[in-house]
């Protein structure tokens, strides 16, 4: 990410991530793209009030953001719990993975 004259520019991968995340208003507020960070502590705290589906999607986005599976994204749980729209987001990413 480059910063110039008070503005910032996202890399293509960061833009793709932001566009996917924008589909989830409950989750998007935990990412600060200007600072290029996720509010991990805030998201951890919110996990206790998220629905099971929101928890799965949060784990998915955190795993993509960090580039590792430390956030316990469970594929089988996702497939057996999520609706077709959420699954399409995950499968679309899996067909053409990127890491911001």
Helix, strand, coil shares, percent, the chain, to 5 = 55, 10, 35
Q: What is the pLDDT of residues 13-53, one digit of tens each?
A: 999 999 999 999 999 999 999 999 999 999 999 999 999 99
- Name the helix (H) or strand (E) containing 85: helix 84-95
Residue 6 confidence (pLDDT): 46
The reported pTM is 0.89
d(CA 42, CA 50): 12
With beta carbons less than 8 A apart as the criterion, state whether 20 and 27 touch: no
């Amino acid at each position: 990410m480059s910063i110039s004259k008070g503005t910032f520019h996202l890399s293509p991968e960061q833009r793709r991530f932001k566009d996917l995340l924008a589909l989830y208003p409950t989750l998007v507020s935990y990412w600060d793209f200007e600072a290029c960070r996720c509010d991990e502590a805030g998201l951890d705290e919110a996990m206790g009030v998220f629905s099971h589906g929101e928890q799965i999607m949060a784990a998915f986005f955190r795993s993509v953001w960090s580039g590792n599976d430390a956030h316990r994204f469970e594929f089988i749980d996702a497939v057996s719990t999520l609706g077709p729209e959420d699954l399409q987001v995950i499968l679309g990413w899996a067909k053409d993975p990127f890491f911001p």
